[in-house]
Amino acid sequence: MARFLLDPTGERTIIERVRLPRPATLVGQTIGLLDISKPRGNVFLDRLEQHLVELGAGVRRYSKPTFTKPAPVDLRHEIATQCTLVIEALAD
Amino acid sequence: MSTPRLPDGFVVIVKEECETCRMVAPLLAQFEVTVYTQDDPHFPPSVSPIHDADLSVSWHHDIETVPTLIKVMEGIEIDRTVGWSRAEWQRITGITHLGDQLPVFRPGCGSMSVDPDLVDSLRARFSGGTLRSRHIELADLDDEMEMLFDRGLTDGLPVVPPTEERVLRMLQGTTRAADDIVATVPPDLVPVTIEKVAINAVMAGCKPEYLPWVIAALEAVCTDEYNIHGVLATTMPVGPVIICNGPGTRAIGMNSGVNVFGQGNRANLSIGRAVQLIVRNVGGGRPGEVDRATHGNPGKISFCFPEDEVGSPFTSLATSRGVEPGLDAVTVFAGEGPRCIVDQKVRDPESLASALAASLRTLHSPKLVLGFDVILVVGPEHARVFAEAGWDRERVLAELHSRLQIPGSELVYGAGGIADGVPEHLRDVTLPKFRPDGILLVHAGGGAGLFSAMIGGWANGTIGSQPVTRLVTK
């Protein structure tokens, strides 16, 4: 008789998403910089913003309420609708 | 499988092995009756019995004792008696002198359908279709233990293979339906059913009576307040620490005494392990993926223990958190491994409070304040020092907090030659090591040893993780 065990996982179907193509230029792009609210993340993002602006990109700044939890859905929606690219900063 | 319909009239279920059945066998030829036999297909020879070979009739009609006499009308049971009671058999059959020559009463025997050696396989055969989980087929040469490792379904130790029989037995530990949703488990945010909890509880080594504790702890860690996503993702070495309270801890044999955090007690270890296996297998929280701990700690396999309430001079942790005394509850805390606090010379409470406070001050770093909570597990010998002086929970905590007020000059960046600390503008301020409810006092441990223990927490409050208490219900 066939033996079987019961699957202990959530039996999720993984949705695979294709990455967007790498942009040819940063000129004219709107780049979101997401500060996850760890100490000194702003230092890192300030320098990034400076470089990106010099390269001709527009920059918008965002921050998560706390680094310990995923970004709230409203914030993710805001970034997705306002930006063409996003950079998320870890820190310490 | 649907319930087999019983024929109208009288039905008796017997087995030849049962002395009471053999005693009543001659009576079965004296009236119109359908006889089902569980063992010998020809018993009793005086009638033409139907062999309940797969025990389907017995199982579906909840036969616990043989003989059982049932009266059926239009396919519906309207009366039954178990064993031999002359008065009951005469009443149900309406035959005045039935069995007059037999004793007034004789108890029956256990039905084969509730035989402990058979009941799990019968439950799987007749109730297995109620489970929804995908079947993982094993090839003839597959080693089930190795297959579970290969699929990444264990925490690094062998698990009990979750067969249908074992999972159905586990589900007997709760009154909740198998498809009932318990929580949504981070980080993958997957709804988890009672059935999936039971599968992982089997794997962890739980007994069915532990299942309500696993369910309550899982509900607690999956709250926004507890924030298991962050507890997993942090580089700090924390995981769910589960503190159990209430008489149920003793009923299921948990250990609150000697070696309370250590090896050797099935309930302590398997309840905590089950919660972690669910986070891993259902929620997708695996080390090296979302779990980014720099070091982790051995308690991330399992860290669950009960408070010693019987020997405690203090109100319990659960009571201090609003649970009515006498009820069962779990409190979950994002904690690291335990650390011993030694004071073997102490005989007075002031000195003991100072010794405990001095160790508590070093939690994570003597330069860090207010960001982390702690569980203080007071051992029985230390607790006795407080009890003899009449110090209750509130007094102990107040004395500790008063000793943990630290001058800002000792805490600012660079003080003591240590870079970390608080901003310079706090130099002239006195800061508490812990927020007002940041010390969770618990009584546990063996009766010998003037020791206590501290279990450091993670980022506290709404920014990180807050302790969560949930009632345990069957």
pLDDT tens sequence across B14-53: 999 999 999 999 999 999 999 999 999 999 998 999 999 9
Find the helix packing angle between B194-204 and B211-221, rounded to 10°. Answer: 110
A3 in reach of chain B (CB within 8 A): yes
With a cut of 80, say whether residue B137 has pLDDT above it.
yes
Q: What is the reported pLDDT for B448?
A: 96
pLDDT band at B199 (very low <50, low <70, confident <90, very high): very high
Give the per-residue pLDDT at A12: 87
Residue of higher predicted confidence among B281 and B127:
B281
Q: Mean pLDDT, to the nearest integer, of B328-345?
A: 97
Handedness of CA B273, B234, B466, B310 (dihedral sign): positive
Q: How far apart are CA B238 and CA B453, in angstroms?
A: 16
The reported pLDDT for the residue numbered A92 is 60
| Bigger pLDDT: B205 vs A17 | B205
- Residue A1 confidence class, pLDDT cut points 50, 70, 90: low
Q: For residue B362, give both structure tokens.
A: 């070093």
Q: What is the pLDDT of residue B91?
A: 96
Instruction: Classify B138 as helix, strand or coil.
Output: strand
* Across B385-390, average pLDDT: 97
Q: Where are the domains of chain A?
A: 30-89
Pairing label, strands B190-193, B181-185:
antiparallel
Question: What DSSP state is assigned to residue B403?
Answer: T
Torsion sign, CA atoms A73, A77, A78, A84: positive
Mean pLDDT over residues B366-383, rounded? 98
Q: What is the mean pLDDT of chain B?
A: 96
Angle at CA of residue B162, ends B191 and B115, nearest 5°: 120
Size of interface A-B (CB pairs under 8 A): 83
Q: Which two tokens stand for residue B325?
A: 């005394």
Shortest CB distance from A4 goes to which of B137, B200, B284? Answer: B137
Confidence of residue B133 (pLDDT cuts 50, 70, 90): very high
Q: Is A39 on the interface with B (CB under 8 A)?
A: no
Q: What's the length of chain B?
A: 474
pLDDT tier, A20 (very low <50, low <70, confident <90, very high otherwise): confident
pLDDT above 70 (res B1):
no
Query: B106 forms bridges with which residues in the sheet?
Result: B84
Spatial separation of the C-alpha atoms in residues B160 and B141, rounded to whole Å? 18
pTM (two decimals): 0.88
Q: What is the mean pLDDT of residues B377-392?
A: 98
Residue B379 has pLDDT above 80, yes or no: yes
Q: Before B67, cis peptide (omega within 30)?
A: yes
B196 with A10: Cβ contact below 8 A: yes
**Exposed, middle or buried by CB within 10 Å (0-12, 13-18, 19+), for B310?**
exposed
**B398-457: per-residue pLDDT in tens?**
999 999 999 999 999 999 999 999 999 999 999 999 999 999 999 999 999 999 999 999
Amino acid at B297: N
- Coil, strand, or helix at residue A42? helix
Which is nearest to B257 in space by CA: B473, B445, B44? B445
Q: What is the pLDDT of residue A68?
A: 87
ipTM of the complex: 0.85
Using the Cβ of A13 and the Cβ atoms of chain B, whether some distance falls under 8 Å is answered with no
Give me the residue from A6, A10, A66 closest to B192, CB to CB: A10
The length of chain A in residues reads 92
Q: Do A6 and B192 touch (CB under 8 A)?
A: no
Q: Is B99 left (phi over 0), alpha (psi -120 to 50) or beta?
A: left
Nearest residue in A to B235, CA atom: A68
| For B161, nearest residue in chain A (alpha carbons) | A5
DSSP string, B235-253: SSS-EEEEEEESTHHHHTT
Domains of chain B: 9-115 (3.40.30.10), 148-471 (no CATH)
Q: What is the pLDDT of residues B222-277, one digit of tens each?
A: 999 999 999 999 999 999 999 999 999 999 999 999 999 999 999 999 999 999 99
pLDDT confidence band for A41 (50 / 70 / 90):
confident
A68 to chain B, any CB pair closer than 8 A? The answer is yes
Residue that wins the pLDDT comparison between A70 and B366: B366
Instruction: For residues B260 and B446, give the distance between their C-alpha atoms in angstroms, rounded to a whole number.
Output: 7
What pLDDT band is residue B112 in, cutting at 50, 70 and 90? very high
The mean-pLDDT minimum among A11-20, A23-32, B162-171, B191-200 falls in A11-20
- State the pLDDT at residue A38: 85
Average pLDDT over residues B357-377: 97
The answer, yes or no, to whether residue A91 has pLDDT greater than 70, is: no
- The mean pLDDT value for A24-40 works out to 91
